[in-house]
Amino acid sequence: MADLSSNLAGIKSPNPFWVASGPPSNTAYQTHRAFEAGWGGLVWKTIGTPIVNVASRYSALNFGNQRMIGFNNIELISDRSPETNFAEIAEVKKRWPHHAVIASLMVETREEWREFVKRAADCGADGIELNYGCPHGMCERGMGSAVGQQPEVAERITSWVMETATIPVIVKLTPNITDITAAARAAKRAGANAISLINTINSITNVNLDTFVPEPTVAGLSSHGGYCGPAVKPIALNMVQCCAADAQVGLPISGIGGIANWRDAAEFMALGATNVQVCTAIMHYGFRIVQDMNEGLSTYLDSKGMKSLAELVGKSVRNVNEWKNLDLNFQRVARIDYDKCIGCNLCYIACEDGAHQCIDLLAPESIGVDLGPGRVPHKVLPKIREDDCVGCNLCALVCPVDNCITMVEIKNDKPKMSWSELQDKVARGEMKPIPPHP
Ligand SMILES: Cc1cc2nc3c(=O)[nH]c(=O)nc-3n(C[C@H](O)[C@H](O)[C@H](O)COP(=O)(O)O)c2cc1C
Ligand code: SF4
Ligand code: SF4
């Protein structure tokens, strides 16, 4: 069986699944429950000068029958005292010496940073995570994303931390920034040991059209909240890959954002994350989800003949490239499996109104489809004109039947030619520019 043990910048855990800093990592009681369920590590709810929270604090984006595909919060850092938090970390570490417990910190002055970094090490935490990400409340007080959005400020504060730190330091990045690598490079320059990303994204999930106040509502007002959950995964994957591919960053990555199962975790790892953290999925389904995550990841690694996580980490990073290097002569078209087609014609409408008008609706017999006994009769079925299909994927994406429309490669005799190669050849007079599509 594959070895799931994980090592992020010297912080060891029995598996790569960590509880992210947030409501599920607020207390020792919850941490015991998390580790009993099978989580390998936990980043404590951010510790700092205790705050006062508001009610309500959360809102969500539901889609169809799916609750909470996106989740929004205006909660601040821990409302418990640093004494209580550090004492509980010490208690947890005594009982779980081989699990990773990370103290997430957010304070203001150099003196405070030094004091809190020392207290985190003294209580036995395995590492420190610097929360430069909170996009609400704390940033109005000059902390959280107010730090993370200014790489030079983040660099200065991280170097204060590094002066005192005796345990590994992870800088948690905010996605509310134009170029995530600028923030990651700042962490590297300051001497941090790892980065974690993403924290939550600025958001308003909805507006109540009777009261005209967005959710969550606090006495007739709302506020910009932090967005997370499944909806943010593509944004997080993109940022993780950007940091993993950047030669100037060169730091281990803890991947966060919309992870709910082993597949999500494996994708983050393939794009460069050494381990992963989860918050919203635990708030939705509880700590128990980690059992499937451990089993699923282990089975997957075995099925690929991988003996350890190290063989998976980063495997997809170089498969993402600049657009200018993609092959313009590679051809794919959509093809329909009529044994699966239910004749809903969603593909036809999508191609007709939203793509390239290359699907016709024809009588089944004219396209050689036998709707014999056992098949629902259809007057017309979609037929793709492959010569006109530009291979955009849209029909395959809207088709409600799995693998009914597949995208197939069409071999041609044209050599590989990227946009940048084409530009070079045009500049050298070896080729004419490609004429516009009619
Ligand atoms: C209600 C709530 C509170 C959070 N509090 C913190 C916090 O105190 N410190 C922190 O670094 N991140 C905090 N986060 C952010 C999460 O750790 C995580 O970065 C983010 O939610 C994305 O992961 P997810 O999609 O798995 O939730 C919080 C998230 C939520 C939903
Ligand atoms: S791949 Fe795009 S262009 Fe081709 S049939 Fe489907 S929607 Fe039309
Ligand atoms: S969307 Fe899929 S199932 Fe519906 S008509 Fe097109 S191919 Fe058939």
Residue 335: CB within 6 Å of ligand 2? Answer: no
Q: Which residues fall within 8 angstroms of residue 57, CB to CB, at 6 or more apart?
A: 73, 74, 75, 216
Going by CA atoms, what residue is nearest to atom 7 of ligand 3? Answer: 341
User: What torsion do the CA atoms of 337, 343, 346, 348 make, to the nearest 10 degrees?
Assistant: 80
Residue 46: CB within 6 Å of ligand 1? Answer: yes
- C-alpha 341 to ligand 3 mean position (Å): 5
Instruction: Among 347, 390, 405, 437, name the best residue to mutate to test ligand 2's pocket (greatest count of ligand atoms within 8 A of Cβ).
Output: 390
In the predicted structure, residue 177 carries a pLDDT above the cut 80: yes
Q: State whether CATH 3.50.50.60 applies to domain 323-427.
A: no
User: What torsion do the CA atoms of 362, 364, 366, 367 make, to the nearest 10 degrees?
Assistant: 90
d(Cα 277, Cα 348) in Å, to the nearest integer? 41
Residue 71: CB within 6 Å of ligand 1? Answer: yes
Closest atom of ligand 2 relative to the 332 alpha carbon: 1
> DSSP characters for 95-152?
H-TTSEEEEEE--SSHHHHHHHHHHHHHTT-SEEEEE----SSGGGGT-THHHHT-HH
Residue 22: CB within 6 Å of ligand 1? Answer: yes
What tens digit of pLDDT does each residue of 348-385 get?
Answer: 999 999 999 999 999 999 999 988 888 888 899 999 99
| Predicted pLDDT of residue 434 | 86
In the predicted structure, residue 143 carries a pLDDT above the cut 80: no
Going by CA atoms, what residue is nearest to atom 4 of ligand 2? Answer: 389
Active site amino acids: 134
What tens digit of pLDDT does each residue of 398-408 get?
Answer: 999 999 999 99
In the predicted structure, residue 331 carries a pLDDT above the cut 80: yes
Peptide bond into 89 cis (omega under 30): no
In the predicted structure, residue 145 carries a pLDDT above the cut 90: no
Helix (H) or strand (E) holding 185: helix 180-189
| Predicted pLDDT of residue 436 | 87
What are the start-end ranges of the H helices in 201-312? 233-245, 262-270, 280-285, 289-303
Q: Which phi and psi (to 5°) does residue 100 adopt?
A: -85, 125
- C-alpha 268 to ligand 2 mean position (Å): 30
What tens digit of pLDDT does each residue of 182-226 get?
Answer: 999 999 999 999 999 999 999 999 999 999 999 999 999 999 999
Q: Which two tokens stand for residue 75?
A: 């909660």
Going by CA atoms, what residue is nearest to atom 8 of ligand 2? Answer: 351
Residue 342: CB within 6 Å of ligand 2? Answer: no
| Predicted pLDDT of residue 15 | 98
Closest atom of ligand 1 relative to the 200 alpha carbon: 20
Residue 77: CB within 6 Å of ligand 1? Answer: yes
Going by CA atoms, what residue is nearest to atom 6 of ligand 2? Answer: 395
DSSP bridge partners of 169: 128
What tens digit of pLDDT does each residue of 15-32 get?
Answer: 999 999 999 999 999 999
d(Cα 207, Cα 203) in Å, to the nearest integer? 12
Closest atom of ligand 3 relative to the 398 alpha carbon: 1
Going by CA atoms, what residue is nearest to atom 5 of ligand 2? Answer: 389
d(Cα 374, Cα 212) in Å, to the nearest integer? 52
| Predicted pLDDT of residue 414 | 94
Q: How confident is the model at residue 435 (pLDDT cuts 50, 70, 90)?
A: confident
Per-chain mean pLDDT for the chain: 95
Residue 133: CB within 6 Å of ligand 1? Answer: yes
Q: Which two tokens stand for residue 430?
A: 């070896």
Instruction: Among 335, 340, 344, name the best residue to mutate to test ligand 3's pocket (greatest count of ligand atoms within 8 A of Cβ).
Output: 344
Residue 392: CB within 6 Å of ligand 2? Answer: yes
| Predicted pLDDT of residue 398 | 98
Residue 356: CB within 6 Å of ligand 2? Answer: yes
Residue 183: CB within 6 Å of ligand 2? Answer: no
Average pLDDT of the segment spanning 46-62: 93
Cα 95–Cα 97–Cα 101 angle in degrees, nearest 5: 95
Q: State whether CATH 3.40.50.300 applies to domain 6-319.
A: no
- C-alpha 258 to ligand 3 mean position (Å): 30
| Predicted pLDDT of residue 133 | 74
| Predicted pLDDT of residue 372 | 81
- Looking from the CA of 217 toward its CB, the CA atoms found within 13 Å total 12
Q: How confident is the model at residue 275 (pLDDT cuts 50, 70, 90)?
A: very high
Going by CA atoms, what residue is nearest to atom 2 of ligand 3? Answer: 399
Sequence ranges of the chain with CATH classification 3.20.20.70: 6-319
Sequence ranges of the chain with CATH classification 3.30.70.20: 323-427
Pocket of ligand 3 (CB under 6 A): 336, 341-347, 382, 399, 401, 404-405
In the predicted structure, residue 141 carries a pLDDT above the cut 90: no
Average pLDDT of the segment spanning 41-68: 95
Pick the range with the lowest mean pLDDT from 63-77, 125-139, 208-222, 330-344. Answer: 125-139
